[in-house]
Chain A
């Protein structure tokens, strides 16, 4: 009886009020079958796509007519100029160093903030809300924009890139980490608090062992992303491979570009496989 009353008070969605559901009789029982919403979603999607086509001046003809340009470029990229390799090594190492340092510093900084932003450990709601807003805003800023601001503040070079990667890593690791802290088993934490452990002690010995593998896994994952992100930071003067890439394309030296890209491909392949192997071990 109580359940029936509750169902009556639920407000129907607007769609169901405009287009009432069809009633199907099955024997002596009736079933309400809501009308299909596919056409509504379809119309909405078509309108969005049509608007986008107009705004972006979409013209597939250009790609068909001038597509051969791409094949010309790609042919040169896949025919790399290996004599250029010794100039690639140093910026490449810079890129790796930037992402290693940025990932380590960023994920270390993320740990305390993630703990403070998880609702099951930090009981003060307003602090959690403020922290989450800050973390969200940090995450929405594109790395390249952070890097170009850092390049103005700290001067051109790898330091600006490292700061940009640190900020980015901080944003995503903190978010992923507070989400996993919120799913852990709080029994051990509460038991330790009941025994008189301080909040920090309880966290250290009850929560930390549970989240440590996920934390390391998140950090490695962000490191994988960072390696790829760091390669383009040079474009705004923040050090690494980006400077070379920009320069090669500017001079239309696609053979040199090919060397840079293929070296990058190999390095990313090695790092991704290592990191995925480690992450599988962790989980």
Chain B
């Protein structure tokens, strides 16, 4: 194929002077990680609450949890991103006021974090629910036989078990979240993919820029995998098939 590779492009200075092109990608990576971390915290917290609600006895919490999951699962993430950035502020005047007056990047960051956090929370809620429902009924019963309140049996018995069981699907949701953070470029947030394209447009070295971004994403995916595999081994529930090794 006719393409002149120019890997030196990363070490050229940007037109603004003083910085190099590789620094653009690093700053993009910074935003990708920042968005992912904050959104992940939101997703885990809300996901644990909503997933738990779906396993409670009452009708209302189950229905609410169900509606929550279906709402976020059936609208494209891109459209949700537009809703958080362009539409919801119109209905919340103080938010709109803040978004207009602050630095654009903060408004973009807030929208992206809420969008990705709540979208992912719906997916994590499904995993948490599946995790809780995979536990033998006896655990819940034993909890109440010991005199634990509903809150206590969730806090000390069910959730710790459920979370340890669902670590593999949580790992893939975490990776999905990191990949999905690239959609924030549609509202102008200068994360990694945004920066890669920008670098390509400035220098016409599109493929070098995309290759670099691809490598970074692959490295992130591999390290996330490693970290989660380590966590999985550390907290494995003794006696389950997943724990493997040892035992008898």
A pairs with B: no
Instruction: State the B residues within 8 Å of A (CB).
Output: none
